[in-house]
Amino acid sequence: MAAHPTRRVVLAAAAALPLAGASGCGGVNVLAAPPRAAPDVALLRSAIADEQLLIARYVNVLHGAGNPGGSTSAARRGGAAAALAAALEPMLAEHRAHLAQLRSRLVVPAGASPWPSGRAPAGPAAPTAPGAAAAFLRAAEQAAAAALLDRLPRAPASLAQLFASISASEATHVPVLDTVILDTERAAR
Amino acid sequence: MSSPAPSAPRPAAAATAALQSALAAEHAAVYGYGIVGANLAGSRQAAAMTDWVAHQVARDTLEAMIRSRGSEPVPAAVAYRLPVAVRTPGQAVSLAVLLEDRVATAYLGLVALSDVSVRQFGALQVRAAALRAAAWRGSTVPFPGLPASALAAPRPRPS
C-alpha cells in the first residue's frame, strides 16, 4: 500500500454535489486525479492483458457477425447478426475506454517498454451464431469482472477504485447480453 | 477496538469516515427513491420499490458496520435538496440514475481503504449501484462511480 493514500484519493467538498442534505452536512467522496507514483506494474499489466483479450473476443464476434458465411437462412442470420453488432458496438467502445485508462496508469521505469508483448492478443475463435456469440461474451464479461475484484486486495487505493469501476461496468454488460440471448432465441422460434 | 498500525495513517478513522459518507449517500437514496416511486406507475414503480428496499438494506448494513467500529452512524437529513424538480416519470428516472451514480461514487470511497473486506464490500455495492443505474438509464457507462476528474486524458499509443 502507498504510504499516503489520502494524497491520491481525495474527498471532495460537499458543495460540489448537486444532491446534499438540506441541513448542509453530508456528501459523498469524489476521487482524485490519477496518481503520479508507479502502481503495481505486474497487477496492471495482467489487467491490461485481460482487457485486451476481452476486446479481441468482441472484435472476433463482430468480425463473424459481419461475415455470417453459409447460405442457409442467410437473411435471418443477417438480421440477427446486424442486431448483435448494434448491441455489441457500445460495449466494445467501453472496453476500449477501460483499456485506455488502464494503460494511462502504467508507469514503467525509464528505458523499459511499456507494451509487454507488442500487439494485443488475437483471442480465441468466437462462435458465429448470434446467440452462442452473445453467450460466449457473457461468460467472458463475468470472468473479467471477477478477475478485477480478485486483484483489489493487492492494488494501491486509486488503482483499486479503477478496477472496481471497470468491474462494475463489465457486470452491467451481462444483462445486456442476456437480453441479446433472449431476443435471439425468440427470433429463432 | 484495536489501535491502528503505526505505519498507516489512521486507517480506522479513514474507514469510519468513508463508511459515514456511504451512509449519507444511502440516506439520500432512500429519501430520493420515495420521490422516484411517487412519480412512476406500474412496473417502473415496482422497480423503484425494489431499489428503495435495496438501499434501506444497504443503509442498515452500513449503520451496523459503523457501530461495530465504535462510532455513531450519521443520521438522515430531514429533507434533501433535489438537483432537479421531479414532476414527470422522465424526471423521476433521471433522479434514480443520479442517486445511483452518487451511491456508486460513495462506495468507491470504501474501495480505497486498506481493509480488504471493506474494499470487497464497497466493490460489490459499486456493482449493485451500477446495475441499477444501467437498468434506469437503459444503457451502460464505462466507469460507474468514477468522476471525470479521476480519469486520465488518453495519451498517444505507440503504433
pLDDT of residue A80: 77
**d(CA B104, nearest CA chain A) in Å:** 9
pLDDT in tens, chain A (189 residues): 333 433 344 333 333 344 544 443 334 445 655 554 455 889 999 999 999 999 999 999 998 866 555 444 444 556 778 889 999 999 999 999 999 999 999 876 655 555 555 556 677 888 888 899 999 999 999 999 999 999 999 999 999 999 999 999 999 999 999 999 999 888 887
Per-residue pLDDT tens, chain B, 159 aa: give them.
444 444 445 778 999 999 999 999 999 999 999 999 999 999 999 999 999 999 999 999 999 999 999 999 999 998 898 888 899 999 999 999 999 999 999 999 999 999 999 999 999 999 999 999 999 999 999 999 999 888 987 655 554
This prediction has a pTM of 0.83
Alpha-carbon dihedral sign for residues A18, A23, A29, A32: positive
List, in sequence order, every beta strand (DSSP E) within chain A.
Answer: none
SS3 of residue B80 by DSSP: strand
Which residue does chain A place closest to B126, by CA atoms? A168
CB contact (8 A) between residue A164 and residue B158: no
**Residue A189 Cα, gap to closest chain B Cα (Å):** 26
Please indicate whether, in this complex, the C-beta atoms of B147 and A167 are within 8 angstroms of each other.
no
Q: Write out chain B residues lying below 8 Å of A10, CB-based.
A: none
Q: CA of B126, closest CA in chain A: separation in Å? A: 6
d(CA B139, CA B133): 9
- With a cut of 0.95, is the ipTM above it? no
Max Cα–Cα distance, chain A, nearest Å: 68
